[in-house]
Amino acid sequence: FHTVGYRPTPVDGFPIVGRAEGAGGLYVAVTHSGITLAPVLGLFAAREILDGERDTLLAPYGLGRFLQIL
């Protein structure tokens, strides 16, 4: 097995997409599948940032899910 570089991923392997509560206007979009998911994540992020409408498909992928681990 050979690798060329390190690709950081969330500890559970799933994307993190959404606002970072308590961090001003910070919006996070982190995923291992950036090339394939970038178009749809960009659309979802723009909609949430500009219109305040969070797509229901993003429900399980918020940053807050890691607060339950602590």
The answer to whether residue 5 sits within a structural domain is: no
Torsion, Cα of 19, 25, 47, 68 (10° steps) = 10
The answer to whether residue 49 sits within a structural domain is: yes
The answer to whether residue 45 sits within a structural domain is: yes
The answer to whether residue 28 sits within a structural domain is: yes
The answer to whether residue 4 sits within a structural domain is: no
The answer to whether residue 2 sits within a structural domain is: no
CB 25 within 8 A of CB 41: no
Closest C-alpha among 23, 16, 28 to residue 61: 16
Domain tally, the chain: 1
CB 42 within 8 A of CB 48: no
Residue 39 structural domain = 16-61
What does the alpha-carbon distance between residue 15 and residue 11 come to, in Å, rounded to a whole number? 10
The answer to whether residue 35 sits within a structural domain is: yes
12-66: pLDDT as tens digits: 889 999 999 888 889 999 888 778 889 999 999 999 999 999 999 999 999 998 8
Model pTM above 0.85 = no
